[in-house]
Amino acid sequence: MDKTTSGWLNGFLGVLIFSGSLPATRVAVMDFDPVFLTVARAAIAGLMALALLLLFREKRPARSDLVSLVVVALGVVVGFPLLTALALKHVTSAHSIIFVGLLPLSTAIFAVLRGGERPRPAFWLFSCLGSALVAGFAFSQGIAAAPVGDLLMLAAIVVCGLGYAEGARLSRTLGGWQVICWALVLSLPVMVLLALATLPPSFAAIGDPAWAGLAYVSLFSMLIGFIFWYRGLAQGGIAAVGQLQLLQPFFGLALAATLLQEKVSPIMLIVTVAIVGCVAGAKRFAR
């Protein structure tokens, strides 16, 4: 298998794993506090990341990489998990997955800002159209019903796009899986302390589905998915493999409908397809 094919395969596996993140988070926050869930998943993944780095005797990152690693940690280790966990206290995972359709666009925008690229005007046309579709969908569902959840999801997409773009840029020199591992280890001391501070007084009321959700987001969403994802970006190219994120809303909606028995309305599917089209057009004109 050549390097490009391996990159696409790794990227696809990463997206497939990430697609279960929101449904698993939705299940977990039914019993766990969102803040505890966020720090606990990061602490668990951080301990596993530390073990991997020690096992393979990885060299420490250069000082010049520390700022980028902090950005990655704030974006994908803390920011996105916390904001989505808080949002899923107000909206369903099926509803939140609509916003995930904007994640490739968010990543592309930050790649432009960080990489100094100058996309053609058509890029911004698709960008504005996709954003308008998301805003229109939120209003059509009744903005008074869960405005907090929608705003939290939008904020989550912004910080995650920054974390993806920064991590993808850093993976060119530091290595794919090493980026997320070092970001997790960098945040580990704080996450462990916060996990202990927010520990539930009792675990008696925590059901098996919530434990399964915590296990999934800790092991797969926080670590294994990123190992495949950043490796895919490094092997196959950020611009090319990054387009695989367009598949994530479809996988997520399917999981929400089959595992959580959440209703996926026709308008959700229509908006998701429209957003994917907008993001695809924006990616085409990104350079």
At 117 the pLDDT is 64
Percent of the chain residues past pLDDT 90, beyond the cut: 45
Domain ranges of the chain: 3-284
Q: Which of 15-24, 30-39, 121-130, 231-240 has the highest mean pLDDT?
A: 30-39
* Mean confidence (pLDDT) of the chain: 86
Does residue 181 carry a pLDDT above 70?
yes
For the segment 16-30, the average pLDDT, to the nearest whole number, is 91
At 287 the pLDDT is 62
Range of weakest confidence among 27-31, 162-166, 205-209, 255-259: 255-259
* Cβ–Cβ < 8 Å for 236, 12: no
Give the residue with greater pLDDT, 96 vs 283. 96
Range of weakest confidence among 27-31, 118-122, 203-207: 118-122
Q: Which of 25-39, 91-105, 245-259 has the highest mean pLDDT?
A: 25-39
Q: What distance in Å separates the CA atoms of residue 60 and residue 181, rounded to the nearest whole number?
A: 11
Buried-state track 196-233, b at ≥16 Cβ within 10 A, e below 16:
eebeeeeeeeeeebbeebbebbbbbbbbbbbbbbbbbb
At 141 the pLDDT is 65
* Cβ–Cβ < 8 Å for 224, 45: no
pTM score, two decimals? 0.85
Environment class of residue 32 by beta-carbon count within 10 Å: exposed (0-12), middle (13-18) or buried (19+)?
buried
**Confidence class for position 239, pLDDT limits 50, 70, 90:** low
Distant-in-sequence, close-in-space partners of 198: CB < 8 Å, separation ≥ 6: 33, 35, 36, 39
For the chain, give the longest Cα–Cα distance.
56
Range of weakest confidence among 35-49, 160-174, 247-261: 247-261
**Confidence class for position 94, pLDDT limits 50, 70, 90:** confident
For the segment 89-115, the average pLDDT, to the nearest whole number, is 80
pLDDT tens-digit map of 138-177: 677 665 567 888 899 999 999 998 998 899 888 888 888 8
For the segment 61-84, the average pLDDT, to the nearest whole number, is 94
The pair of structure tokens assigned to 48 is 């596993």
